[in-house]
Amino acid sequence: MTTTSVQKPSARTSKPVTLSSKRPRRKGSILLTVLTALMAAYSLFPLAWLLINSTKTQDGLFSSFGLWFDDGKFALFSNIADTFTYNDGIYLRWLGNTALYVLVGAGGATFLALLAGYGLAKFDFVGKKAVFAIVIGAVAVPPTALAVPTFLMFSKMGLTNTPWAVIIPSLISPFGLYLMWTFAAQAVPTEMLEAARVDGAGEFRTLFKLAVPLLMPGLITTLLFTMVATMNNYFLPLIMLKNPDWYPLTVGLNSWNAQAATAGGEAVFNLVITGSLITVVLLLAAFLSLQRYWQSGLAAGSVKE
């Protein structure tokens, strides 16, 4: 904040802010907007590619230009219909499996993180320091390094090839615990809990009636991040599940993609693309409709020091 060695303002920087008590509204910069627009174009272009190519038939994919529609053929609706009916409607089954894993896995992870985060923030108990040390230490262990031993352990316990093999490991989110902990410490006044205790309310009743409403933004943020983590999970279901009936969408879509390479396998790239599009649209709808919550939640909880 000294005046020495001040960098010469470049084209992107504004002139010094004028003296005024209100924060002055600075002029928009065309150059900065164009540069950011390039980044946005990079982010959106594969999604545009996906959307355009989901309107093509399997043959059209090969015969038409990648970034434009196939003349005269608009196969989006038949692709969607085929996606849902191919192989006796296995896609719908995968969609249901994904919903099951996400709801039970991410929902359970959020619930456990809520309980534990609240417990850590609002109670003092023997072994609390050890809990903190163990959980923080475990964050650095790559989950995929755990997946193979977990598989071997689960196969001894007879859990592989069942939904439990995917759900149980999804129930723990150290990041979710950290979020809920920070939120509970900030958003729930200890005085309020003490008042509830004086009134004779049980501990769990206090949590669900008084604390949970205050923790809503944190809960939704945690839920969204655990949902993305569960949806994204490919390695775990890939090794845990052999029966396609239990596949989530990620493993299922890749199995459709890979089947073209197998002997006698039918190439269904149009269905892979349409199936991917449906997956993306569902996720984006969830994200955009809840954006008010996760954006404020992220700002308030995850990164504030």
Partner 1 sequence: MAVPQVAAPPPATRRVRRSHQGWKFVGPFMIVFALVFLAPIAYSIYLSLYRNRLIGGNAFVGLDNYTQALQDSQFWSGVGRVGLFLVVQVPIMLFLALLVALALDSGRLYGKSFFRVSIFLPYAVPAVVAALMWGFIYGSQFGLVGSINDALGISLPDPLKPSLILASIGNITTWQFVGYNMLIFFSALQVVPKSLYESAAIDGAGQLRIIRSIKLPAIRGALVIATIFSIIGSFQLFNEPAILRNLAPNAITTYFTPNFYAYSLTFSGQQINYSAAVAVIMAVITMIVAYVVQLRGTKDL
* Residues in 15-54 that interact with partner 1 by CB under 8 A: 16-17, 19, 23, 25-30, 32-33, 35-37, 39-40, 42-44, 46-47, 49-50, 53
Among 76, 235, 244, 293, binds partner 1 (CB under 8 A): 235
Among 72, 88, 124, 289, binds partner 1 (CB under 8 A): 124
Q: Which of 130, 137, 218, 141 is nearest to 182 (CA)?
A: 218
Distance CA 114, CA 219 (A): 7
Q: Which stretch binds partner 1 (CB under 8 A): 76-84, 87-95, 176-184, 212-220?
A: 176-184
Using the rule CB under 8 A, is 65 a contact of partner 1? yes
Q: Which stretch binds partner 1 (CB under 8 A): 72-80, 88-96, 212-220, 251-259?
A: 251-259
Using the rule CB under 8 A, is 100 a contact of partner 1? no
Kindly write down the DSSP assignment for every residue of 266-296, as one continuous string: PP-HHHHHHHHHHHHHHHHHHHHHTHHHHHH
Q: Which of 208, 171, 176, 206 is nearest to 192 (CA)?
A: 206
Give yes or no for a contact between 14 and 28, defined as CB atoms under 8 angstroms apart.
no
Nearest 5°: the CA angle 92, 95, 100 is: 125
Among 199, 200, 263, 304, binds partner 1 (CB under 8 A): 304
Q: How many residues of this chain interact with partner 1, rule: CB under 8 A?
A: 129
Using the rule CB under 8 A, is 127 a contact of partner 1? yes
**Cα 140 to Cα 64, 136, 137, 151, 302, distances in angstroms:** 47, 7, 6, 20, 17
Shortest Å, Cβ 9 to partner 1 = 4
Of 36 and 85, which CB lies nearer to partner 1 in the complex structure? 36
